[in-house]
Amino acid sequence: MSHTLGSLGGPGIRTAGGIGGAKPINKDHPLDPQVHKILVHFNDHIRASYVKMSAADSMLTFEPVSYASQVVAGTNHYVKLRVNQEGGRDHAEYIHVKIFDQPWTNTLEFTGFDVGKTLDEQFQYEMPAPPK
């Protein structure tokens, strides 16, 4: 079942200290509503980062396929997104994004962005910063 950013919601994973196991997003495990809201907030920034790093055009959408969380002095949200380009490519392309959320200080930062990922590739704590 294919999902888009506008149709997702549900519980997430939180593990103190380490990155929780990546949870696939599907009808039995929908995306956490807070993570969905964060992705919508950063959608334009994610798109611009992808265009800069891949020389793609801006006619693309992102489909969340898995996510994990890490509790630190706030929460790091890790999300694997499938890149869907208008006109399509013959192969699937994935990116990882990392977003730091500290609600009690109103901090929400897009802190990591990595292209060229595979469906099976695990999230890494260290991730390149999004391009400026």
pTM for the full predicted model: 0.81
Number of domains in the chain: 1
CATH code, domain with 104: 3.10.450.10
71 lies in a domain? yes
Domain membership of residue 91 as a residue range: 5-117
pLDDT exceeding 90 applies to what percent of the chain? 58
Answer whether residue 127 is part of any domain: no
User: CA 86, CA 109: separation in Å to the nearest integer?
Assistant: 28
Say how far apart CA 53 and CA 69 lie, in whole Å. Answer: 25
Q: pLDDT tens, 101-123?
A: 999 999 999 999 999 999 999 99
